[in-house]
Amino acid sequence: MSVLESFRLDNKVALVTGCGRGIGQAIAVGLAEAGADIAGMYTTRYEETQQQVEALGRRFLPIECDLLEAPVAKLNEIVGQVVGEMGRLDILVNNAGIVRRAPSLEFSEEDWDAVIQVNLKAIFFLSQAAGRIMNKQGSGKIINVASLISFQGGILIPAYSAAKHAVAGITKTMANEWSSLNINVNAIAPGYFETDNTTALRNDPVRSKSLMDRIPAGRWGVPDDLKGVAVFLASDASRYVHGAIIPVDGAWLAR
């Protein structure tokens, strides 16, 4: 197999959470461009992603699920649905996430529980369900979406910071346990990207300028900037990459 062929995802099935917009949509379409069929988990919309995936000649299975409310049994059910309707599950992308902003002295229990539920608990148990299937199949790829906040504390986001640090930790733990099973578990750590989660930051002229002045690349990231690393981690090209947390941040962490 040539190096370019090793990046192909033909006949693979990927489950992508938060597929309807932003980073999740870009990753879903990028995997489809490399040949994968997509099961897309969404809460409010999926149609645009489905259109883009099917325009590439790939299958798309929409799965409605609000991770804020979903019990573990529901996550297991969804993985079973993907296997039942798509035939297999080769790739899981844990992308869906939320952020709640408030000073740590004022941060509420409700906001804490919501962020930890979506950004950490759902990721672990969805990975567990997928890992069981991948173990039976003899191979699999799990890609968690961490954050540059997995390396730093940030401000006004105590629950988000806690969850993203923990995502890096469980990525490494699963890699330690599952690499011998031929399951690659890695994470992407995006920097400041143009998504719904950063709208408030981008609309704040003072905060936006301070962030832009700190990014050596001189711009915010856009979701398509993550397609390449996602395809790499989902493909045979990364077969000996386990437990990595890969920053895609315009050199923010390097500064």
Annotated active-site residue in 46, 160, 192, 240: 160
What is the sign of the dihedral through the CA atoms of 162, 42, 184 and 238? Answer: negative
CA distance 34 to 7: 7
Residue 160: active-site member? yes
- H or E, element range at 54: helix 47-55
- Amino acid identity, position 17: T
Residues 6+ apart with CB under 8 A from 40: 15, 16, 19, 20, 24, 28, 46, 49, 50, 53, 60, 61, 62, 63
What residues are labeled active site? 160
